[in-house]
Amino acid sequence: MRFSLRRRPSPREVAASDAPADPDAPPGHRLVPGSTDEAGHALRAPSRLHAFNRYEIKYLVPAVDLPALREEFASRLDLDSHGSDGGYGVWSVYYDTTQLRFYWEKIEGLKFRRKLRIRHYGDRFTIDDDTTVYVEIKQRVNKVTQKRRVALPYRLARELCDRRQMVEHVRAERAFLEEVLELVSGLDLRPVAITGYQRDAFVGRDADVGLRVTIDQRVRGRDRDFHLGADAENRLTVPAKLAVLEIKANERVPYWLTDLAARSNMSVVRMSKYCQSVEAFGQAPRSIFHVTGDDPTTDLTPTRTRSEA
């Protein structure tokens, strides 16, 4: 059975369809401005503000199956230019209320939900005040995932999200920065969890342009020491024997990919790396979506070597 995710693109999406949207790529990729919001929250997306609409499907995959899957992806997709030699690190600090509002919105499956994070691509041991990071609002509207983000030096990102002060900006970014400031001030947001993982990424070509497949391994994090570059202990929050595979598409998932998922016995999951971390560190009871291994302590195995950067 063919699994289609077709929808009617908005006029703004049609206008932007000649440029590749790659919201999860490291710095250096060209990103598409423009977005829509069906929930009444205006998404202001001037030229320097990166915004994306897409569908996302997530699977948990045994690590032993990854070599065959990578071979299949390599035969049909292009390797992300930053994904060679073991991929790249992705590190994020998530903000939430003292009552974990964003966490519960995800667990309860609200049709409109969002979260705020600061994200860095690459080696966490190189992060300093001048390192480029992304301040992002990621939200879900029905089945569509929408992401808006702006690049800032890390010191300014912390000034905005931690000290709750407006930062230097270009005019096109001001509306988004004001929205972030309103979020952190109005909801009294604070850092709650840091997540990190090693990512391999593949991008579509020819008829599959706009498709992106990511494989995230060694999913880990911490619930303290919230500076992204801190030399702090991280613990596995997903068992090492599992990887998170995500399919991200603008309109539809190609037949060959859904067929591969069926042949590989992959099942769609609602697992969230942020929620997984919140539950793994005991900030909330483990939900029915929590991923664990046979040994209940498997997902809390310490790891803090430089090879895990």
Give yes or no for a contact between 283 and 100, defined as CB atoms under 8 angstroms apart.
yes
- How many C-beta atoms lie closer than 10 Å to residue 173's C-beta? 20
Residues 55-66: tens digit of each pLDDT: 889 999 999 999
- Per residue in 129-177, pLDDT (tens digit) is 999 999 999 998 887 888 999 999 999 999 999 999 999 877 778 999 9
Confidence tier at 32 by pLDDT (50, 70, 90): very low
Whether 85 shows a pLDDT value over 80: the answer reads: no
Least confident of 42-51, 161-170, 270-279: 42-51
Domain boundaries, the chain: 56-303
Name the CATH superfamily for 56-303.
Answer: VTC, catalytic tunnel domain (3.20.100.30)
| pLDDT category of residue 114 using cuts at 50, 70 and 90 | very high
What is the pLDDT of the chain when averaged over all its residues? 81
* pLDDT tens, position by position, 280-292: 999 999 998 999 8
pLDDT above 90: residue 303: no
* Per-residue pLDDT reduced to its tens digit, 213-258: 999 999 999 999 999 999 999 999 999 999 999 999 887 889 999 9
Q: Which amino acid is at 129?
A: D
Q: What is the share, in percent, of the chain residues with pLDDT greater than 90? A: 62
Q: What is the mean pLDDT of residues 280-308?
A: 63
